[in-house]
Amino acid sequence: MSRVGWPTCLEMKARFVQRELGYWLVVRALGGAFDRWLVLTASMGAGHDQAAGVLAGGIRARGGQVLEVDVLDLLPAGVGRGLRSGYAGTLRSAPWLYDSVFQAFFLDHRLCRPGVWPLDALAARRLRPIIEAYRPCAVISTFHLAAQVIGRLGQRGQLPALSVVVITEPAAHRLWLHPGTDMFLCPYPWVAAAARQRTGRPAWAPGPVIAEGFRRPADPARGRRVMAVQAGQDAVLVSAGSWGVGAAAVTARWLVQLDGVLPVVLCGRNEALRARIDRLPRCRALGWRDDLPDLFAGSAVLVDQSGGATCAEAFAAGLPVVAHRPLPGHGRLGMRALAAAGLVTPAADGPALLDAVRRLSRPGPGRAAQLARAAAVFVNDPAEVLMRWVINDGATTRTGKSKPAGQVRMGVGRWVRRSSG
């Protein structure tokens, strides 16, 4: 029967399930139409993989199946590994070079158009067979190169699925915002506004994608024991990211000038940095940790340089953040955005750092206001917002991609796979 006629039994069943049992049960009631999701990530630091893992876990908890693919693995042999090591190497040894690359290829200017060709074309060639074999209802990207890849496929009518880009940074540069994207999931309202303005596509800001453990009660006593904080001391965490880059050692040397403060540097997987910090007097160095909620609970302030995952996790945990010596490129761009929104306190130099840490280490109206603004960005569960949009609204905002083979349009406003028999 046509869509304008009486609803089919399957349509009536879908509407009943959606109304009475909740949207996530539509997956099972319609025979698996939304049971497969493809998540694209990139092992460029830990933030993109963490966001992908949290979203994948949320989808699985609601009955979906998830295939996670590292977009760097889709590139020809050695290319992805070279990009990863080159990125880490420039951040550690030549940050000015990374800043130049960022300015040239990630931002708009008159000299050249931002882009990642031919990397997007090379990755798209190997991604298409995966999509055709797996047949996901949506392809979700948590890295800007993956966003370009699925945007390219979507714009060319070669993506028989919805495309969702999950922006993991507090400021969206051009490479995040491909016009072939169907929907953007953003960490902050201003990022969603920029995505809508730039692409004309739907964009939602439920809050940063973080593990649920950062919003649960933690154990401050255990955190202080791990950091070896003495009675009467305040631990101040300094984040160097998963790769241990930036000027964490310089920051730690400034912080030791404060009485009663113990700088604790999170060195990630950089053992050389950890050894270097260990040699500094009155400092602690920690490697990669899986117990950050306890460390946050046992600390007074976080000093951050990128505005990425660790910063967002501190927002959720109720730990005030100071932005100091931000990383070049995306770090400076993101920290400016967070400071403008009042979510972090910027510290342009050493004396400003000491003043900010001193003020935020103790209860007061300034500290309370900053923490309240940071907590307010967590509006909804990102995985739930993503699934609701794909299942309920995604088909009505498609960018002209071809209809997935073996699927029909249902009156409930979405594509569902035709049941056999």
Does this chain's domain 9-207+379-417 share its CATH topology with 214-375? yes
The rounded distance, in Å, linking the Cα atoms of 253 and 259 is 13
Alpha helices by DSSP H, listed for 156-291, are 189-199, 220-227, 248-255, 271-278
Q: What pLDDT, on the 0 to 100 scale, is given for residue 125? A: 92
27-78 tens-digit pLDDT: 444 445 568 999 999 988 888 999 999 999 999 999 999 999 999 999 988 8
The rounded distance, in Å, linking the Cα atoms of 239 and 365 is 25
Cα 207 → chain centroid = 10
Cβ–Cβ under 8 Å, residues 242 and 288: yes
- Indicate the average pLDDT of the chain: 85
| 257-287: b (≥16 Cβ within 10 Å) or e | ebeebbbbbbbbebeebbebbeeeeebbbbe
Eight-class DSSP state of 288: S
Q: What pLDDT, on the 0 to 100 scale, is given for residue 362? A: 94
Cα 394 → chain centroid = 21
Q: How, if at all, do strands 414-417 and 407-410 pair?
A: antiparallel
Cβ–Cβ under 8 Å, residues 389 and 183: yes
Residue reference for tokens 């999170």:
266
Read off φ and ψ for residue 238, nearest 5 degrees. Answer: -125, 115
The strand order across the sheet containing 138-141 reads 65-70, 36-41, 138-141, 162-166, 183-185, 203-204
Dihedral angle computed from the Cα positions of residues 360, 362, 365 and 371, in that order, rounded to the nearest 10 degrees? 50
Low-confidence ranges of the chain (pLDDT < 50): 1-7, 9-31, 112, 399-421
What stretch of H or E contains 65? Answer: strand 65-70
Domain 214-375 has CATH 3.40.50.2000: yes
Residue reference for tokens 């510290």:
347
The pTM is what?
0.85
The rounded distance, in Å, linking the Cα atoms of 15 and 73 is 40
CATH fold group of domain 9-207+379-417: Rossmann fold (3.40.50)
Residue reference for tokens 């910090």:
277
Angle in degrees, CA 207, 209, 215, rounded to 5: 80
The rounded radius of gyration (Å) of the Cα atoms in the chain is: 23
| Domain map (residue ranges) of the chain | 9-207+379-417, 214-375
Please choose, from the candidates 44, 38, 43, the residue with its C-alpha nearest in 3D space to the C-alpha of residue 56: 38
The strand order across the sheet containing 299-304 reads 284-286, 261-266, 234-239, 299-304, 321-324, 345-347
Helices 248-255 + 350-360 axis angle, to 10:
60
332-364 tens-digit pLDDT: 999 999 999 999 999 999 999 999 999 999 999
Q: How, if at all, do strands 261-266 and 234-239 pair?
A: parallel
Task: Write the DSSP assignment of 329-381 as a string of letters.
Answer: THHHHHHHHHHHTTSSEEE-SHHHHHHHHHHHTS--HHHHHHHHHHHTT--S-
Tokens of 249: 């050692």
